[in-house]
Chains A and B, each alone.
Chain A
């Protein structure tokens, strides 16, 4: 094993928490029973790294084995780093019948055509998603395995999720994806987050949806349990209405964990008490950012507790509706100053 491979392994082991190390090595399956037994998982991480290095030397592992281990770890723990969503546009006629082997071959060959030194590893996960690990090199240097890009794509959906991609690599990846999936273009879906599972669930609506009903059943079970017959809530009905409107806008139950929503405003300044600013012709550019550990949960609570008025404004309800968390808002067009601002993208 050469130096760079050793460094890669050391970095990887440092990254994997000790509790998960054993299960990850089991899944990897490249160590013999005896070797796995000989590893004492109560030792310090440093000692474990040294032991594992020795075992890998013994087995004469190469870079591709280490990257395999890395991929197994990332697939099981996808909720780290920043993930960005992309959407494929304008499918060709045969886009829906692209199947796995064809996609794999096409992707690898297109990417290798575009850039000579690149290392691609593809793996199909149990839930039908294809995971791709790309280590980029250039005309003169070998692929850099320290900064791989991970791409997740479910065939039959137009969505692609990417992490750790530089702006130089983006056009290459886009080209390879578009050609191998038989679509015509790819665009930024304006959705990003730390948890892959969350942004995927949001885009594919895999969380509990609440639909408007004409005759809603009393949401007695959703209200804070009024335990005692001596306690009575006076405004229970309006509270239930607010909760219903909030759940219709954002969803019921557990919501996908988004961390932020950014609104870039390019609207004219409107405040009648401030004439100097209002008279300016150019739009007043400002950026509004909402941040939270679970943004959708916070927004739903704002609506159900009355802090945000119901029906929920389209600016906020667009987040789950359109599956985006980056919006550019421009004025509706010339005309009398109206208070409604439409999200444009």
Chain B
């Protein structure tokens, strides 16, 4: 199985590489456009629909510092695709180099079980769970800023902070009564 490994390549100077994985391939495009605007650091964005990544790009691919799974809560396919992609990541990534980003959480048609399932998944993997709004430019900007914060730490560009340390502070937790029926 071709696992994506976190430390098998050398890092670039003042460079951060991020991989956005999204089954619908929509939000990742606008996020990518906003991410490369960053001036302090050179940000390289790789876009994928799902893992595993094709072998042909193995040589040219830089070291991926942060893998972001974008899940559209209105689509079950999106969640399943993200879940299936997880097994193609080397376990080393789950020490602060993976992040989940979820869109359309406020949509009325989203079943609560799906958000709970994403929460449980993120909590079990000790990863942060970010909520984003993808329809407006403001939403994209906000999501970009938060991703950049985590990315810079994951790429080792922030002194005195490591990805593992940050993930301990930001990781998703599930409330103990998550399986109780809520008042809807």
Contact = CB atoms under 8 A, between A and B. Distances in A.
Given A233-B47, A234-B54, A239-B49, A228 B33 contact: yes
Contacts, number: 47
Contact of B54 (A228, A237, A305): A237
Task: Give the size range of B's interface with the partner.
Answer: 20 to 34
Contacts of B49: 235, 239, 306
Interface string B52-72: 011011000100000000000
Interface stretch (B36-44, B90-98, B159-167, B171-179): B36-44
B46 interface: yes
Contacts of B47: 231-234
Nearest to A237: B54
A228 B48 contact: no
Interface string A218-231: 00000010011011
Contacts of A239: 25, 49
A228 B29 CA distance: 11
A230 to B, nearest CB: 5
Nearest to A227: B33
B83 interface: no
Nearest to A307: B77
A315 to B, nearest CB: 20
B45 interface: yes
Contacts of A230: 36, 42-45
A239 B33 CA distance: 19
Contacts of B46: 231-234
A102 interface: no
B32 interface: yes
A223 to B, nearest CB: 10
A169 interface: no
Interface string A197-226: 000000000000000000000000000100
A97 interface: no
Contact of B44 (A232, A233, A234, A237): A232
A238 interface: yes
Contacts of B43: 230
Contacts of A234: 19, 46-48, 53-54, 57, 61
Interface in A273-313: 305-307
A233 B45 CA distance: 8
A305 B33 CA distance: 20
Contacts of A237: 54, 56
Contact of B24 (A224, A227, A233, A305): A305
Contact of A235 (B32, B33, B53, B61): B53
Contact of B48 (A227, A235, A305): A235
Contacts of A305: 24-25
A210 B95 CA distance: 48
A307 B43 CA distance: 31
A309 B129 CA distance: 31
Contacts of B57: 234
A298 to B, nearest CB: 15
A231 B36 contact: yes
Nearest to B48: A234
Nearest to A234: B48
Contact of B45 (A224, A232, A306): A232
Interface string B15-35: 000010001110001001100
A227 B56 CA distance: 22
Contacts of B29: 224
Given A230-B42, A230-B45, A305-B24, A235 B54 contact: yes
Contact of A231 (B33, B53, B54, B61): B33
Contacts of A227: 33
A235 B47 CA distance: 8
A279 to B, nearest CB: 31
A306 B81 CA distance: 12
Contacts of B54: 234-235, 237-238
B45 A231 contact: yes
16 contacts: A227-B33, A228-B32, A228-B36, A230-B42, A230-B43, A231-B45, A232-B45, A232-B47, A233-B47, A233-B48, A234-B53, A234-B57, A235-B54, A237-B56, A238-B54, A306-B23
Sorted nearest first, the 3 A-B pairs with minimum C-beta distance are: A234-B48, A230-B36, A231-B32
Interface of A: 224, 227-228, 230-235, 237-239, 305-307
Given A305-B24, A305-B25, A306-B49, 18 more contacts: A228-B32, A230-B36, A230-B42, A230-B44, A231-B32, A231-B36, A231-B45, A231-B47, A232-B45, A232-B46, A232-B47, A233-B48, A234-B46, A234-B47, A234-B61, A235-B50, A237-B56, A239-B49
